Amino acid sequence: MAPVAIETVSSDTPSIFTYENPSKRIFPDGIKTSGQFDPNHDDIKPYDDFPQEITGPTVWTADDYAKQPQQWTRRFSEEEVKEMSDAADAFIASETPLTGITKNKFPLPIMESFLGAIRNEILNGKGFILFKGFPVQAWGNHKSAVAYMGLGTYLGYFVSQNGLGHVLGHVKDVGADPSQTDKVRIYRTTARQFFHADDCDIVGLLCVARALEGGESDIVSCHHVFNTLQREHPDVAKTLCEPIWYWDRKGEISVGQEPYMRQPVFYKETGTDGRVYCKWDPYYVHSLKRFWEAGIIPPLSEAQEKAARILEETCLRLSLHMVLEVGDIQFLSNSQVLHSRTAYKDFPPPAPRRHLMRLWLATPEDEGGWKLPFPDSKHKKRGGVQVDDTPPKALLDAE
């Protein structure tokens, strides 16, 4: 049998993005998540090329929105709920695997136009929106997952979120030990998540069940944070722009990859007049102690420790707080927004544990995404976490 071409790419794209599978389609929608990469270090701009102050709609303060939720929330109408319901029912009846869902297989003719405008606002504006009124309790987990992933296809291409290939993530306490930072992903615990960006362009969170206490969301404009650091701590801003930060893969490694990456926290887009882009998660930086102790990579310098501390303090001071109710969906951009979660306590059994369904979505630069200094910037499913040819999975609950 002749090989089946899963995706055709240009000759200047790294070969990891070309797939041939003579026996079966491992990736039902025909596209594989590219996974984590070191940046193209030749494309990393020095601190002196960064602006002293960023302006425009990506710069906002908590005061801009705290008392005006109508500017960042949108309730689904009855007509829109029906359209999602009908599309979900038709998709389920088709018996197509959930990992094969695409925009063409989930038609939303009424919603498509405004979803395009929202996508643009997420990518190029304030960077977030909170949808309300998604009938997750009435639909149950299966239909809700279908409708949620179908909705997500209008914003980006779903990517794998971990080494197991999960494209529908479940933010839920599974009893993991948050102190084991080199092995455990913090979203699988009740611990606080410090301000961070996920390894994708847009992250979505659908609230299925709330916690008894805590588990609330804080978000902040990276560009407002950057401007504040430039004014108050220019030495910290400079340190965060330097490609001296090692990033842990936490064992989610493909053949031939190092167990860590090296990169800055603040980048600039490629080309002229590139925007400032942020990539940060302190858990992936501080979990590298095993490599420091073995002398494989240098430990954090005093300047880096200071920068990490001041970055977190500044984010917390400038952040917008929000609470996700059951049926709310938060979408936000990881390019210009950092987000965090407070620690939480679940209801005692038999009440359900706090549960958010998570989507990681990619927006390649050829389709309006940011022009990033990474080798997969034009790949449809750029970013994410991909280990070798692990197939995608869309489970209806945490495993």
Residue 35 has pLDDT above 60, yes or no: yes
Give the pLDDT confidence of 375-393 residue by residue, as tens digits: 999 999 999 999 999 999 9
Which among 277, 279, 284, 278 is positioned nearest to 246, based on CA atoms? 284
Nearest Cα residue to 16 out of 256, 370, 200, 259: 256
263: three-class secondary structure by DSSP: strand
pLDDT computed for residue 13 by the predictor: 39
Rounded to whole angstroms, how far apart are CA atoms 90 and 332? 28
pLDDT digits (tens, 9 = 90+) for 62-120: 999 999 999 999 999 999 999 999 999 999 999 999 999 999 999 999 999 999 999 99
| pLDDT attached to residue 373 | 97
Phi/psi of residue 317, each to 5°?
-65, -30
pLDDT higher than threshold 60 for residue 9: no
The proportion of the chain whose per-residue pLDDT surpasses 90, expressed as a percent, equals: 85
Strands 193-196 and 337-341: antiparallel
Per-residue pLDDT tens over the stretch 280-320:
999 999 999 999 999 999 999 999 999 999 999 999 999 99
Quote the pLDDT of residue 17.
43
pLDDT in tens, 230-277: 999 999 999 999 999 999 999 999 999 999 999 999 999 998 889 999
pLDDT of 181 reads 65
Instruction: Flag the least confident range among 13-27, 121-135, 335-349.
Output: 13-27
Q: What is d(CA 270, CA 280) in angstroms, rounded to the nearest whole number?
A: 19
pLDDT at 325 over 70: yes
Q: Assess contact for 374 and 201: CB atoms under 8 A.
A: no
Q: Which residues of 167-181 are buried (b: 16+ CB within 10 A; e: fewer)?
A: bbbbbbbeebebeeb
CA nearest 320: which of 112, 94, 62, 89?
A: 62
- CA nearest to 385, candidates 185, 154, 190: 185
Alpha-carbon distance 69 to 72, whole Å?
A: 5
pLDDT the model gives residue 182: 64
Per the structure block, which two tokens stand in for 221?
């404009």
179-213 pLDDT, tens digit each: 666 656 677 788 889 999 999 999 999 999 999 99
> Rg of the chain over CA atoms, in angstroms?
20
* Non-local CB neighbours of 61 within 8 Å, separated by 6+ positions: 221, 224, 318
How confident is the model at residue 55, as a pLDDT? 98
Cα separations in angstroms, 338 against 52, 181, 226, 258: 20, 20, 12, 26
Q: Say how far apart CA 211 and CA 192 lie, in whole Å.
A: 13
Position 29 pLDDT exceeds 90: no
Residue ranges of alpha helices (H) inside the chain are 62-65, 78-94, 112-124, 136-152, 222-232, 234-240, 282-286, 289-293, 302-318
